[in-house]
Structure 1
Amino acid sequence: MLKVEHLTKMFGGLAAVNDVSVEFGANQINAIIGPNGAGKSTFFNLISGVHQPTSGRILLEGKDVTTMRCDHVAKLGVGRTFQTTNLFETATVLDNLIVGYRLRTNSGLWDVLINSKRLQAEEKAAREKAREALDFVGLTYAENRYIADCTQEERKRVAFALALATQPKIVLLDEPAAGVNPEETEGLADLMKKMVKHGLTVCLIEHKMDMIMGIADKIMVLDHGEKIAEGTPEEVKNNPVVIEAYLGSDHDAAA
């Protein structure tokens, strides 16, 4: 599904991502872990086209997307959430999701001015797709609720639904369980498993190790921009380099 070859991103003299190569298979949950400042979000920004790499290649289903703009990458099937859930606070949940579906529409200014049949058809389709995404994430009841009135966990689910509304093949989730309690974390983990069951590929950045070890098929570990390990959860949690760099003494005590 996703293949990265010798990916590097320099900011001035600093290598935020340094010569990283990895493959993430389709219909799996793939996790990227590492200390703060390890380059995880930069890695996602490179995959999604937010940043252009200094060197290296990014292949999506065999297609080179290395230098593509983020909107073109999204149209090829890369959905994305961010650490901070940026939503339109004074708009409803449903209206926030309709924005995501706009990626797939063709109406222009003229269509808006004359209220064309194409615009009307796309508006109807956008609402239908938005409601499908809401149903998928379990938020049908909240479609008319303003974002400002949503809980943190509901906002997380709206962000998931917004990524799904772009009709992705692979979804990049940046700390999807940050700021929610253990019960809510379990619910979000179940939602990620549901995505995979419905044919999606999930890549996530997360610091909640219990969740990662319980759901990930594959884990890549970054430290100071470099890949220091990859493998199954069992392989990663027993890797002495990973324990030294990231899991640390808490892991030793729990082992």
Structure 2
Amino acid sequence: MLKIEHLTKRFGGLLAVNDVSTTIETGKINAIIGPNGAGKTTFFNLIAGVHKPTSGTITLQGDDVTSLRPDQVAQLGVARTFQTTSLFDMATVLDNLIVGHRLRTRSGLLDVLRGSSLLREEERICREKARDALNFVGGSHLENRMAGDISQEERKRVAFALALATNPRLLLLDEPAGGVNPDETQGLAELIRKIVKSGITVCLIEHKMNMIMSLADKIMVLSYGEKIAEGTPAEIRANPVVIDAYLGSDHADA
């Protein structure tokens, strides 16, 4: 799905990502782990076009996307969620989600002023796609709730639905289980499996190691901006460099 070669990002004197090469494999649950400040979110921002790399290349299914803007990357099928779920709290959940499919529409200001048939049809499609995405994540009962009134776990599901409404091929999840309890974490893990079964490739950043070790097909470990290991959960759990840098002896014995 995605090929990253020698990716480097400097912010002044800070080397946030240093010569990282990896692949995000199609149809798999790919994970990125590492201590705070390891460069994980910066790595996501480079893929999504938020930051431009200092050097290196990013290729999406054969197309060079290294220098594209975030909206252009999204148009090609890369969606993401964020550590903090930001919604329009004074709007309904459904109205929040309608924004997602606007990425795929063609109507403009002139259509709005005229109330064109194209605008009306695209609004219908956006509403339909929003409902489909909300139903997929198990949140159809939230449709008419104000976004500011729903729980943290429900906000996470709505964030998933917002990303899914853009019709992605690759979904980047930044700490999708942050701030939720163990039962809710398990539910979100099941949702991630469901997303992959539907044909969407997933790459996630997460600090909950029990979740990652039971969920991921492939894990890359970053430390101080550098890739220090990559492999299956079993390989990562047994890697002495990773144990020393991040996991600790408890995971080595697991």
* TM > 0.5: yes
Superimposed CA distance per residue, residues 173-217 of structure 1 (whole angstroms, 9 cap, x where no aligned partner): 000000000110000000000011010000000000000000100
Cα deviation, residue 24, structure 1: 1.4
Quick one: which amino acid aligns to residue 140 of structure 1?
A: S
Structure 2 partner of 1:66: 66
Structure 1 partner of 2:140: 140
Compare 139-148 and 241-250 and name the one that shifted more.
241-250
1:12 maps onto 2:16 in alignment: no
Structure 1 partner of 2:228: 228
Whole-Å separation in 2 of the counterparts to 1:52 and 1:21: 16
Whole-Å separation in 1 of the counterparts to 2:249 and 2:14: 29
Whole-Å separation in 2 of the counterparts to 1:25 and 1:44: 15
Quick one: which amino acid aligns to residue 159 of structure 1?
A: A
Q: List aligned pairs for 1:1-255, cutoff 5 A.
A: 1-252=1-252, 254-255=253-254
**Structure 1 counterpart SS, 2:100:** helix
| Structure 1 unaligned regions, length at least 5 | none
Quick one: which amino acid aligns to residue 130 of structure 1?
A: A
**Structure 2 counterpart SS, 1:57:** strand
Superimposed CA distance per residue, residues 116-140 of structure 1 (whole angstroms, 9 cap, x where no aligned partner): 0000000000000000000100001
**Structure 1 counterpart SS, 2:84:** coil
Cα deviation, residue 249, structure 1: 3.9
State the identity %. 71
Quick one: which amino acid aligns to residue 188 of structure 2?
A: L
Quick one: which amino acid aligns to residue 197 of structure 2?
A: K
Cα deviation, residue 83, structure 1: 0.4
Superimposed CA distance per residue, residues 82-111 of structure 1 (whole angstroms, 9 cap, x where no aligned partner): 001011010110000111111111111111
Q: Which runs of 4+ in 1 moved over 4 A?
A: none
Cα deviation, residue 250, structure 1: 3.8
Whole-Å separation in 2 of the counterparts to 1:196 and 1:251: 26
Whole-Å separation in 1 of the counterparts to 2:181 and 2:250: 20
| Structure 2 unaligned regions, length at least 5 | none
**Structure 1 counterpart SS, 2:248:** helix
Q: CA RMSD in A?
A: 0.7
Cα deviation, residue 69, structure 1: 0.3
**Structure 1 counterpart SS, 2:67:** coil
TM-score, length of structure 1 as denominator length: 0.98
Cα deviation, residue 248, structure 1: 1.6
Quick one: which amino acid aligns to residue 90 of structure 1?
A: M
